[in-house]
Structure 1
Amino acid sequence: MITVWPIDNPDANQARKDSCDYAVEHYDLNASEAAIRDARLQQANFDGEGPYLVGWSPSNVRGAPDKLVLVIDMSADNNQALIDQKFLFWKKQIVDDPSRWRNGFSVESVRAAIRIFADQYGQAMLDAIKLLGEKKL
């Protein structure tokens, strides 16, 4: 899973060195707004202040109304520790475990990862994670 922080010049030396200051100063608002627009086509709600982690798998289902999009809303996170925990969840459960997304997101697999996350970090954080776009049978 490739995780992208949208920046205006990803080929810059500072970007390649993962400079946090550079990433913040060169944030690409257009790319992030496009991701939000595409996720909204899949019924995602971005009413909070953010930030949000948004993911599609496979990437070609981005914006497809009948496909899944994973949204982690960090609007209620009022300290760095909470934000760090959600990024750690994203890294361990999404990025580092391709079985959860390689052939598209599996609702069961993502739910299992969310249960692990909830056991570790509590119910309030679990309420912030939404998986949207699931077809109703």
Structure 2
Amino acid sequence: MSDEVAALLTRRGWLDLDEPQLMERQFRAKYLLVTDDSDRIYWMATGNSLLFLPSSGMLRGCGLRALQPWQHFIPLKPDLSDALERVAWAKAHDEEARVIAAHGAALAREAFSHEAQLFCLLRVIQEVSAWLKD
């Protein structure tokens, strides 16, 4: 971000350069809820937080299929109706939840690495290339 934009956001109270950035603050959270079809899951998964992930099928992308429920994240219903129950489970099973979070973060750091994403892009290009030859 440019100095001009940072100054404007600071004047409006939307940015405090003395505070850790949002991503750093979110990594301090014990639990994180993935709620949208964006690239946020890629950085959220690399922290040490336990992810709660709805089984909506919306999330797609390189490496996401490697994440397995109850091994790398806590699954939720698409409407989040079981979210409170799942959080209660995580609180009651703190060590098990910590292990799930650690497994998820370890897998994410590998599956979502720069090299892994480039390999995935290569595979997509190869598949599209094969389609174009037909």
Compare relative contact order (CA 8 Å, sep 6+) and give the higher one, 1 or 2: 1
When normalised by structure 1's length, the TM-score is 0.31
Larger Rg: 2
Question: Which structure dedicates a bigger proportion of its chain to helix?
Answer: 2
